[in-house]
Amino acid sequence: AQSVTQLGSHVSVSEGALVLLRCNYSSSVPPYLFWYVQYPNQGLQLLLKYTTGATLVKGINGFEAEFKKSETSFHLTKPSAHMSDAAEYFCAVRTGGSYIPTFGRGTSLIVHP
């Protein structure tokens, strides 16, 4: 079985501050991990993904995430928040044995001027 836990339903930062969105996964086999972003009343858009190889993954819009197997984590970071980053962020996991992605509950990022 696979599952994802996103810590914090809301994260609030000031513009220019570091963004850190937390994601922990549970999987009995090596996972494939994804971060998606959703703007209001729109679908989900892929930010970045980890499959194999380098554990630090860079995505679009300046975001990156690091896969830490020992901590079963895949936290999303961005050095400097921009107002346009305000959105809902979802972490997801898939495994080789199941093609169905499992999503976390999402974290709403609020960016203050």
Partner 1 sequence: DGGITQSPKYLFRKEGQNVTLSCEQNLNHDAMYWYRQDPGQGLRLIYYSQIVNDFQKGDIAEGYSVSREKKESFPLTVTSAQKNPTAFYLCASSISGGGNTEAFFGQGTRLTVV
Query: Binding string to partner 1 for residues 71 to 90, with x set by CB under 8 A, is what?
Result: -------------------x
Q: Does residue 70 belong to the site contacting partner 1 (CB under 8 A)?
A: no
- Rounded Cα–Cα distance for residues 19 and 71 (Å): 20
Helix, strand or coil, per DSSP, at residue 4: strand
Q: Does residue 1 belong to the site contacting partner 1 (CB under 8 A)?
A: no
Q: Does residue 52 belong to the site contacting partner 1 (CB under 8 A)?
A: yes
Instruction: Tell me which residue of 112, 31, 25, 30 sits closest to 76, measured CA to CA.
Output: 25
Judged on CB neighbours under 10 Å (0-12, 13-18, 19+), 74 is buried
- Phi then psi for residue 110, to 5 deg, are -110, 130
- Cα distances (angstroms) measured from residue 78 to each of 22, 26, 40, 46, 97: 12, 24, 21, 15, 31
Cβ 103 to partner 1 shortest distance, Å: 4
Out of 51, 61, 80, 84, the only residue in the binding site for partner 1 (CB under 8 A) is 51
Stretch of 13-21, 38-46, 65-73, 77-85 lying at the interface with partner 1 (CB under 8 A): 38-46
Cβ 45 to partner 1 shortest distance, Å: 7
Which residues of this protein are in contact with partner 1, per CB under 8 A? 9, 31-32, 34, 36, 41-46, 49, 51-52, 90, 92, 94-101, 103-106
